[in-house]
Structure 1
Amino acid sequence: MNIFSGHFRPLGTPAPMIDPFGRMVSYLRVSVTDRCDFRCTYCMAEHMTFLPKKDLLTLEELERLCSAFIDKGVRKIRLTGGEPLVRHNIMYLVRALGQKVRHGVLDELTLTTNGSQLARFADELADNGVKRINVSVDTLDAQKFREITRTGDLNKVLAGIDAAQKAGIHVKLNAVALKHFNGQEIPEIMRWAHGRGMDMTVIETMPMGEVEEDRTDRYLPLSELRRDLEEQFTLTDNDYRTGGPARYVTVEETGGRLGFITPMTHNFCETCNRVRLTCTGTLYMCLGQNDAADFRDLLRSTDDDAVIKSAIDEAISRKPKGHDFIIDREHNRPAVARHMSMTGG
């Protein structure tokens, strides 16, 4: 056995990637497309200009880069978008990474989805090692759902959740907390989720990309939401973790778990173990910073994976301590210009 940063690891296994602040990077979030069949008002402009196909990594290039990260010590990969299930032939990548799970070199392959295509893909996802997914549902009111997504059909999403659960996939519900939209509805959504055996996470809106609405009008601090919830429910902090930034409580009245992701009121940077790869091969070491590393040209210029892995090491050495998100009347511009759909949700 070798000793590295206080951890034991078997001989022959990759040394973990350690950033300048001593955090082990073991989680890669991969955006497979910037496209989405929804246009959620807090995420995208209504009339988006998407990337031309030539700018995107091929699925084979994504597989090669993911494999390099796995060789460097990544143990969990989450596929995101945009909407990952609208990427043509996406199951090629799911199958390839699913084999990594079967062979024990990857602990977990997960997915974040809007649920619109789940009824079609749930069985195949389950067959290829996907045991957990996150589904974004900000309201259970069909008319409000159409309003917030601009194009979404709530019934299709609910049918997708049904299909995923029937296939044996554990579903976690994600809801962005939005003032004057769903703040009062969160208890109802939570009861529904817990009644179906699903965990739920609420998320603060983040200042990323230009959108038509005023973000300060939508921003609902989760500290405020939690105070409101505690008037109806008993919330007990617990140590449950999924590898992401959510901090969970047990809701005694429902028996379910509720997570809080708070990039604005209480950032989670001190424990960040994640980096994000876009569909164009750009690696962002922090969601809320612009520093990045380009892997597309590198992938297309060399067949030597050692060069790719060296570039990964260099990028991890630049991972910053944290982000600088602010939302108020004086900072009503996005902290970063790129939309969340480009970086990956």
Structure 2
Amino acid sequence: MLEDSFGRRFHYLRLSITEACNFRCQYCLPDGYDGPPNSAFLNIHEIQTLLTAFAQMGTSKVRITGGEPSLRRDFTDIIAATANTPGINRIAATSHGARLAKDAHRWAQAGLHQVNVSIDSLDPNQFALITGQDKLKQILNGLDVAVEAGLNVKINTVLLQDFSSNRLQRFLTWLKTTPVTLRFIELMETGEHHNFFNQQHMSGAPLRDKLLAEGWQPIIRRRDAGPAQEFCHPDYAGNIGLIMPYSKDFCESCNRLRVAASGKLHLCLFSEQGLDLRHYLSAGDVEGVKQFVTESLGDKHISHYLQQGSTGATKHLAMLGG
């Protein structure tokens, strides 16, 4: 089992397979994607070497992210390769959801267990304003297909200053009959979005207090779960989660490492730089990957230092999938 110098154990890998995305979310890629093509990123053979090495080091859960991972033509093959790696027993993906209606059944058949979909508003006009795409109806239809396919569905929504009580009420009404987990995520500062962060950041603590006051109960976290605090209510088919990276001791429960689509290991979402693994991956050197990652963990910091305004080398969240 991978363990750092602070006693934290890592059995969860977040693997980015592309930086590309065709949405233009205000808090991520407001001007659209203008980076390398998918051909520049890890190929499926390099990914298989990576998965084998991490599985042998105790990784049991893999989240496939982007950018938008479904923009890769071999996305379903990557899911299947992950599912067929001994030791990996849970596979999730993060997506904008525009291809769910078409592909959710194929992804589930390939071995996907969970999909996290970004939906920042249930109002079609507001959704289009935030994302640059008028596809809310298409994505909501896709959620129904994903649930039908047996996928565990979670919805990610970024907390913004213009987050109104009407917007929250619309989500709560939707959760009455919709069996998904809706997760509110505090906006995180990145290198290209200092001004947007200063204008729009808000804490999730008041929302947590409101939920508890209205009878929502905490859910015990899975061992391989991400950082969300999740809550359930007997009157609702869906659950609510909160991800609050600016809260005290957020990093104490860190259980995940990240590998970028370029083949760089990131010990934290906000690391100063990635550590290049690609020469090991290209050579199919599983033992080299294991030794490199194990030794690199000695440099993992106790915190992301977001509270001090440190954003590291993360220019925008599409670089590493959040």
Common fold: TM-score over 0.5: yes
Partner SS, residue 275 of structure 1:
strand
Deviations 1:286-339 (A, max 9, x none): 112214311113323x34321121111112222221111138xxx5x8554421
In structure 1, distance between residues paired with 2:115 and 2:131? 20
Give deviations 1:165-204, integer Å, cap 9, x for gaps: 1111121111111111455412321331342111221110
Residues 1:77 and 2:62 aligned together: yes
Shift in alpha-carbon separation, 1:40–1:21, aligned structure 2, 3 A? same
Q: Which residue of 2 aligns with 1:129?
A: 111
Contact 1:43 1:209 (C-alpha < 8 Å) held by counterparts: no
Please state if 1:174 is matched with 2:156. Answer: yes
Question: Contact 1:27 / 1:75 at 8 angstroms: preserved in 2?
Answer: yes
For residues 188 and 303 of structure 2, what CA distance do their matches in structure 1 show? 14
Range that drifts further, 191-200 or 159-168: 191-200
Aligned residue-pair number: 321
Kindly indicate whether the alpha-carbon contact (under 8 Å) linking 1:209 and 1:340 is maintained by their aligned counterparts in 2.
Answer: no
Match in the other structure for 1:236: 217
Amino acid at match of 1:122: A
SS in 2 for 1:195: coil
- Other structure's SS at 1:326 match: helix
Structure 2 unmatched ranges of 5 or more = none
Amino acid at match of 1:243: A
Relative to the length of structure 1, the TM-score reads: 0.86
Quote the residue 2:205 is aligned against: 223
Asked whether 1:65 is paired with 2:77, we answer no
CA–CA distance in 2 between the matches of 1:140 and 1:163?
A: 18
Partners of 1:150 and 1:182 in 2: CA distance:
20
Q: CA deviation at 1:76?
A: 0.3
1:99-248 correspondence to structure 2 within 5 Å: 99-100=84-85, 105-182=87-164, 184-211=166-193, 214-229=196-211, 233-241=214-222, 243-248=225-230
- 1:340 corresponds to which of 305, 317, 320: 317
Q: Partner residue of 1:8?
A: none
Within 5 A, what are the aligned runs for 1:238-317? 238-241=219-222, 243-254=225-236, 256-300=238-282, 302-317=283-298
- Aligned Cα RMSD in Å? 2.2
Shift of 1:152: 4.3
Higher alpha-carbon Rg: 1
Change (3 A) 1:120 1:273: same
**1:118–1:164 contact (8 Å) kept in structure 2:** yes
Matched-pair contact (CA < 8 Å) for 1:99–1:128: no
- Aligned-residue sequence identity (percent) comes to 31
Residues 42 and 213 in structure 1, CA contact (< 8 A), matched pair in contact too: no
- Once the two structures are superposed, residues 9-31 of structure 1 have per-residue CA deviations (whole angstroms, 9 ceiling, x without a partner) of xxxxxxx1111111111000011
Give, as a single letter, the amino acid of the residue that structure 2 aligns with 1:120: K
Among 98, 116, 132, the alignment partner of 2:83 is: 98
The answer on whether the counterparts of 1:174 and 1:201 sit within 8 Å (CA) in structure 2 is yes
Match for residue 318 of structure 1 among 291, 299, 307: 299
Distance in 1, Cα, partners of 2:51 & 2:174: 36
1:19 paired to 2:4 = yes
Helix, strand or coil at the partner of 1:92: helix
Distance 2:193 2:274 in 1: 23
Q: TM-score, normalised by structure 2?
A: 0.92
Q: SS state of the match for residue 156, structure 1? A: helix
1:56 counterpart residue number? 41
Mapped to 1, the partners of 2:156 and 2:136 lie a distance apart of: 14
- Classify the secondary structure of the residue corresponding to 1:28: strand
**1:141 aligned partner, one-letter code:** D
**CA gap 1:337/1:125 in 2 versus in 1, 3 angstroms:** closer
CA distance in 2: counterparts of 1:87 and 1:54, whole angstroms: 9
Which letter maps to 1:43? Answer: C
Shift of 1:127: 0.6
Structure 1: where are the runs of 5+ without partners?
Answer: 1-15
Q: Give the letter aligned to residue 216 of structure 2.
A: L
Aligned to 1:133, the other structure's residue is in SS state strand
Residues in 1 aligned to 2:194 and 2:30: alpha-carbon distance in whole angstroms: 6
Asked if structure 1 preserves the Cα contact closer than 8 Å seen for 2:16 and 2:67, the reply is yes
Give CA deviations for 1:224-270 in whole Å, capped at 9, x if unaligned: 22344456x22223323351001122235426421111001345210
Displacement of 1:210: 0.8
Q: Is the 8 A contact 2:47 2:281 kept in 1?
A: no
